[in-house]
Amino acid sequence: VEPIQVTHSIPETCALAVTTDHGIILFTADFKFDNTPLDNKKTDIKRLAELGEEGVLLLLSDSTNVERDGWSESESMVGPSLHTLFAEAPGRVLVTTFSSQIHRMQQVITAAHETGRKVAVAGRRMDQTVALCQSMGYIKIPEDTYIRLDKASQYRPEDLVILCTGSQGEGRAALSQMSREEYNRLRINDGDTIIYSARAIPGNEGPIWRTVNRLVMLGAHVIVDHPTPIHVSGHGHKEEIKLMLSLTKPFYVAPVHGEPWHQKLFEEMLIEMGHPKHRVFVLENGDTLNLDDEKAWTEQENLSGEVFFDQSGSIAIQSDTLRERTQLAHDGVVVVSLGVDREEGTLTRKPTIQAQGFCGDQQDLDSAVDDLVESLAKLSPPEVSHDDILKDIAKASVRRSLSRLTRQKPVVIPVVD
């Protein structure tokens, strides 16, 4: 496996050339051809061309920006725009971007220093990233520029820039919490300027615009687009993808890292370029692409999809647990208590019901108890002495009654003592 330097917004991004018995498989990773990258590390065109001459059997190519004609803009174009906006802003400036956008964060810090502003960070992930990158030399912070967020109140608004998470409308991110006035460490003030230095990932438009609208209602001036670049993509446009194909001359091609729409456009572009359609593979998650000395074919044999973890981050949540949580959220929980004399096989008292998050009234609960008493009266003494039978009867009866009376299906928990 050979790493090959490519330009992206994350430092030291590498394409991977895997030499196999059947030929070279090249995975581009996220890439662009930027002639003026912030760290001066350009995509290694020479080595890519050499691999093309050696023979690339399969190219797995980034397809994210295939719908965008021409060439992507250089990351270095963002800095001057930020400098101008910082200089013109009358009060605080908040900049939100991806927590992995190292070069963008460096440009925010540089522009803040040049305009006499201090920089603070809001958002745990971004704070960790800045600290780690500074320790490794990927981010350079001029002396007396960085301050802790809890010290921001000691400075005039026009002397501050706040880097914050939440560019994609993530509910728990700092900017999203600020828009809901739930972020205790910082509040949005009338006159703040908020710059969205990121492009919406497909599917995130709704949460992003809900956040933007809430920020505007709090009195902020929100910039999501600007005549000068406040964001450029780390993924190459169509001409850059074509250049990658021309350099590497792959026999088989599979577009990856994109939505099905991007993959389809990539396939159409390849066919227009003269690449045989039967040597293009548009894969879905879980597909297996097999290659031998004579052919390539796909098989759908691997399970794929989302895996959810609890707050601890170590326990996978099963589908039945997710269903129960959804049911709890919609209809609440009802606890049914039964007292039993197991030796006599009789109930010691009338069943009781307690409810939380249930929208019915007490009359509905009382009716459910009456229905349950009727069901229990049909049981023999040995059946009454059996806890599992009692629990099954109680759960089924109460759920059936409440569903009939209220059209709700709360989680029913029977307790026998």
Q: Which residues are catalytic?
A: 62, 235
| List of residues 6+ apart from 124 with CB closer than 8 A | 165
* Tokens (6 digits) for 370: 């009456």
End-to-end Cα separation, the chain, in angstroms: 64
How far is the CA of 313 from the CAs of 206, 307, 308, 316, in angstroms? 27, 11, 9, 8
- In angstroms, the CA 196 to CA 190 distance is 18
Helices (H) and strands (E) in the chain, counts: 12, 17
Using left for φ > 0, alpha for ψ between -120 and 50, and beta otherwise, residue 131 falls in: alpha
- In angstroms, the CA 56 to CA 248 distance is 6
- In angstroms, the CA 259 to CA 240 distance is 18
How far is the CA of 224 from the CAs of 221, 256, 321, in angstroms? 10, 28, 39
Using left for φ > 0, alpha for ψ between -120 and 50, and beta otherwise, residue 366 falls in: alpha
Instruction: Please give the full DSSP string across 267-310, using - where no structure is assigned.
Output: HHHHHHTT--GGGB----TTEEEEE-SS-EEEEE-S--S---B-
* Tokens (6 digits) for 253: 């091609």
- In angstroms, the CA 255 to CA 406 distance is 51
Go through 33-54 and write b for each residue having 16 or more CB atoms within 10 A of its CB, e for each that does not.
bbeebbeeeebbeeebeebbee
